[in-house]
Amino acid sequence: MAHDTPPLAERSINDVARITGTTSRTLRHYDDIGLLTPSRVGTNGYRYYDADALARLQRILLLRELGLGLPAIAEVLAGQRDDTAALRDHVRLLESEKQRIDRLIASVSTTIHKLAEGEPLMAEEMFDGFDHTAHKDEVEQRWGADSYAASNTWWKAMSAADQAAFVAAQKQLADDWAAADEQGTDPESDSAQVLAQRQFDALVGIPGTPSEGKAGPPREYYLGLAEMYVADPRFARNYGGQAGAEFVRAAMVAFAATRWS
């Protein structure tokens, strides 16, 4: 009986997902849109990737880190853009991000030391490297300068402990979304809808967020955020990448269909 064993140079889709830290869902999506075609598909339906396909995937992931969307990446790989210049920008971005991460490490290390020694904490030290104004332009463009000013004033008025708790809660929610996507969760399932509810609840009470009184943000605002998570790679990275952001959007759309039915 013949066995569908791949050549040594090939890797299965599950191997590639594990090695690269992406998901099989993402790789299938890349195939569906013609961005990354597997070198072959076995009789068992599994996708396999040879050295050329893996090299192409490396370039895709590098360009995703640069912040390019999938259509732009397709153009780069087709030779319609200056990919050398894009990769130089990528290196500069990584160097900038490395500096920010180094600051975060130093900030958290200082907090750990001071907590252990019983020394007083300083908010300026605790949050060096946390850029809560990173999306200032997007907020002002989409929802007005008053919205950003109100939310920024709210943030600065918080105690260091409250700021830390807020950041931790947001990160935990993003991690939970990414984990649910990794597990192949149905966006309309109960567990995904619990996450969508948490996403909604996280918006309630933040000054500057459009609100329908105590009912929380309106449908258009909530769905607008869902679309933004997919459209902007910077937001998509919070949810494990493009496929993760699309999972979040699908769950939020399902949530909205129920809440505002």
CATH number of the structural domain spanning residue 36: 1.10.1660.10
Question: Does one domain contain both 96 and 166?
Answer: no
Please tell me which residue, 8 or 253, carries the higher pLDDT value: 253
52 part of a folded domain: yes
Tens digit of each residue's pLDDT (9 = 90 or more) over 60-119: 887 776 667 788 788 778 875 565 666 666 677 667 667 767 666 776 776 676 677 776
Burial of residue 140, with CB atoms counted within 10 A of its CB: 0-12 exposed, 13-18 middle, 19 or more buried: middle
3 part of a folded domain: no
Question: Does one domain contain both 110 and 206?
Answer: no
Distance CA 173, CA 181 (A): 13
DSSP state of 213: G
pLDDT of residue 144 exceeding 70, the answer is no
Domain count, the chain: 3
Q: Given pLDDT bands bounded at 50, 70 and 90, which one contains residue 126?
A: very low
Tokens coding 249 = 């959007």
Q: Is residue 229 within 8 Å of 235, Cβ to Cβ?
A: yes
Question: Does one domain contain both 156 and 254?
Answer: yes
Question: Does one domain contain both 184 and 252?
Answer: yes
pTM over 0.95: no
Amino acid at 36: L
90 part of a folded domain: yes
Provide the CB-side half-sphere exposure for 188 (13 A, CA): 3
Q: What angle do CA 177, 182, 183 make, to 5 degrees?
A: 100
| Tokens 């019983």, located at residue | 118
Question: Does one domain contain both 126 and 137?
Answer: no
Which residue range(s) make up the domain with 17?
11-77
